[in-house]
Amino acid sequence: MGSWQGKSNLFKRTASVQIKDLTLRKYEGMQASARLDEMLRMLKEVFGDTDDIAIRQFRIFGSFNAAAVFLEPMVDQDRINRDILQPLMTALKDGQAEQLHASRIADYALHDCLHAADASAEISIVPMLLAVTSGETLICIDGSHKALIVNTRDIKKRAIEQPQTEQVIRGPREGFIESLDTNIALVRSRLSTTDLKVKMAPIGRRGNTNVAVCYLSSIADPAIVERVLGRLAKIDTDAILDAGYIEQFIEDQPFSPFPQIQNTERPDKTAAALLEGRIAILSNGSPFALIVPCFFSQFYQTLDDYTERFLIGSLIRIIRLVALVTSLIFPALYVSLISFNPELIPTDFAVAVAGGRAGVPFPTVIEVLMIEISMEILREATIRLPQVIGGALSIVGVLIIGQAAVSAGFSSPITVVIVAFTTIGSFATPAYNAAIALRMLRFPLIILAGSFGLFGVLIGLLFIANHLLAMESFGVPYMAPFVPGNWQGFKDLLLRGPIWWMRKRPSHLHTLDANRLPPDAADAPMRRTLQYAGEEDTRAHE
């Protein structure tokens, strides 16, 4: 497996000292002893206070003392019985045992006896200890410098289900789970190609969490791969409990409200990203894959856009864009219209709105802020509550509180409408993290609107837009393909072009193979369109 320092060419030449936890540091570089009792003493020293350790002593082939060491909760004991103990404890034919020298016994057992696919011989202490902690079985043999490591890990996995956060109408129903192996398998099963490279190494001093970087070597830009590996190598932390930890360690602009790394629970989305020339980072224990580099436009695109026909996909995408913009600026616009520029409201409606607001004791900006904040509280509460109550609460929140606020003269009915609309709009943004960023940015905008009206809103939007324009995700401009513009990218930006028309991969990813489709990919569909009920059809009828 190796380490991220090793994977990254950047670190090839620098002498890196990987810091382990205290025990591991103590045994750093030590070789295993050939004496079983010494090994057992050492193991008892390390795992002395651990009650779930099991040390099973036995005799290999009836003649060599050995011990199997494993952590009971993490292993499949049946497999240890069947695949390790049974073959090893079978006595050999007469004379064969005598021929075997104690030092070669490990190799013989590994090559001729053990029926386990994932098994290896090891001579250093540290990997042995790590193997035990990750649920593998260590077999120490008296008289042999080598110890055997057999993978007997058995950790309970969740079944593969439809991802909760990224549901689709049409498309695969599989989602990642917490097991890295399963997740890689899910991706691999979609891309059966030798180009799919998976680089794995553990991260974290104490967690030693396996992290995999996947990319297609014939497409992904080596420079970006190198950059990803380099940043991963620099992570030095206790453990990676979720892919989100990695995201925060490697993102370009930690202080930006906008996410610069996409996360997904969907293997199909991951595969699509790999095909575009992006890089996926998966980590053990997390059902989320991180996708880098990432454009802002990815946050309003969903898989549905692509699985459905392009006209429908485009329409839905436009609606989602409208919702996205709405969730950001709608309340701010409302505040500035009511408090600063009522001349933009039609006269009869303006008179009526003034009537609706007549009893409200607060300025619009305060009113909107209060309702917005209570809406955010409701949203947060609904996520935390058990689902059955949550549904009830949101209805209570929207209907009862809104109605009550209006009849209590606490807010005007239009404010409630506006805030409700905004909240719904923000739920239409598929990426939760991007939606939250916009929801939060709406508050400074409301304040600006409350102090400078439309002018304030515009200045706020300029700030946001300038910030977005300055951002980069792994060296790729964040606002691509809008700025810097790219014609091929425009086909998949606001609209979703026909699938046979989007011939190029995103150019800003600098893919090695820029073409997704052959140059004449659009010919056949276009010919069918133009000869609608024409030659092709008539011949078919004959």
Which positions from 246 through 265 interact with other proteins, judged by CB under 8 A?
Answer: 253-257
Pick from 2, 73, 222, 346: which binds other proteins (CB under 8 A)?
Answer: 346
169-193: b (≥16 Cβ within 10 Å) or e: eebbebbbbbbbeebbebbeebbee
List the beta bridge partners of residue 53.
71
C-alpha span between 377 and 68 (Å, rounded): 54
Pick from 2, 222, 359, 409: which binds other proteins (CB under 8 A)?
Answer: 359
C-alpha span between 133 and 23 (Å, rounded): 13
* Helices (H) then strands (E): counts for the chain: 23, 12
| CB 364, min distance to other proteins, A | 6
308-333: b (≥16 Cβ within 10 Å) or e: bebeebbebbeebbebbebbbbbbbb
Q: Does 353 bind other proteins (CB under 8 A)?
A: yes
Select the span of 47-55, 74-82, 377-385, 472-480 touching other proteins (CB under 8 A): 472-480
Pick from 467, 497, 512, 514: which binds other proteins (CB under 8 A)?
Answer: 467
| CB 485, min distance to other proteins, A | 6
Q: Does 329 bind other proteins (CB under 8 A)?
A: no
Q: Does 508 bind other proteins (CB under 8 A)?
A: yes
Question: For other proteins, which is the closer residue by CB, 207 or 475?
Answer: 475
> What is each CA distance from 382 to 161, 336, 347, 392, in whole angstroms?
23, 30, 39, 9
Give residues 186-225 in contact with other proteins (rule: CB under 8 A). Answer: 223
Q: Is residue 119 within 8 Å of 149, Cβ to Cβ? A: yes
| CB 473, min distance to other proteins, A | 11
Pick from 55, 97, 191, 454: which binds other proteins (CB under 8 A)?
Answer: 454
Report the SS3 class of residue 229.
Answer: helix
Q: Does 322 bind other proteins (CB under 8 A)?
A: no
Give residues 391-430 in contact with other proteins (rule: CB under 8 A). Answer: 413-414
| CB 420, min distance to other proteins, A | 16
Pick from 163, 259, 453, 498: which binds other proteins (CB under 8 A)?
Answer: 453
C-alpha span between 333 and 326 (Å, rounded): 10
Q: Is residue 312 within 8 Å of 325, Cβ to Cβ? A: no
C-alpha span between 371 and 362 (Å, rounded): 12
- DSSP secondary structure of 156-172: --PPP---SSS--SSS-
Binding pattern for the stretch 64-103 against other proteins, x by CB under 8 A and - elsewhere: ----------------------------------------
Question: For other proteins, which is the closer residue by CB, 454 or 499?
Answer: 454
Select the span of 135-143, 148-156, 471-479, 530-538 touching other proteins (CB under 8 A): 471-479
Q: Does 25 bind other proteins (CB under 8 A)?
A: no
Of 508, 430, 435, nearest to 472 by C-alpha is 508
Pick from 28, 107, 181, 472: which binds other proteins (CB under 8 A)?
Answer: 472
| CB 472, min distance to other proteins, A | 7
Cis status of the peptide bond prior to 484, with omega within 30 of 0: yes
Q: Does 348 bind other proteins (CB under 8 A)?
A: yes
Question: For other proteins, which is the closer residue by CB, 204 or 481?
Answer: 481
> What is each CA distance from 404 to 195, 334, 366, 410, 416, in whole angstroms?
61, 21, 18, 8, 11
| CB 468, min distance to other proteins, A | 9
Pick from 198, 275, 469, 522: which binds other proteins (CB under 8 A)?
Answer: 469
Q: Which residue has the tokens 């025990």?
A: 23
Q: Is residue 148 within 8 Å of 36, Cβ to Cβ? A: no
Question: For other proteins, which is the closer residue by CB, 143 or 356?
Answer: 356
Select the span of 125-133, 308-316, 479-487, 497-505 touching other proteins (CB under 8 A): 479-487
Pick from 344, 392, 399, 404: which binds other proteins (CB under 8 A)?
Answer: 344
| CB 520, min distance to other proteins, A | 26
Select the span of 211-219, 268-276, 288-296, 357-365 touching other proteins (CB under 8 A): 357-365
| CB 461, min distance to other proteins, A | 9
Q: Is residue 305 within 8 Å of 319, Cβ to Cβ? A: no
Of 239, 425, 248, nearest to 328 by C-alpha is 425
Structure tokens at 298: 């990815």
Element (H, E) at 515: none
Question: For other proteins, which is the closer residue by CB, 172 or 444?
Answer: 444
Strands (E), 207-300: 209-216, 262-264, 279-283, 289-292
Report the SS3 class of residue 423.
Answer: helix
Question: For other proteins, which is the closer residue by CB, 344 or 377?
Answer: 344
Q: Does 512 bind other proteins (CB under 8 A)?
A: no
| CB 476, min distance to other proteins, A | 8
Question: For other proteins, which is the closer residue by CB, 25 or 510?
Answer: 510
Binding pattern for the stretch 423-452 against other proteins, x by CB under 8 A and - elsewhere: ---------------------xx-xx-xxx
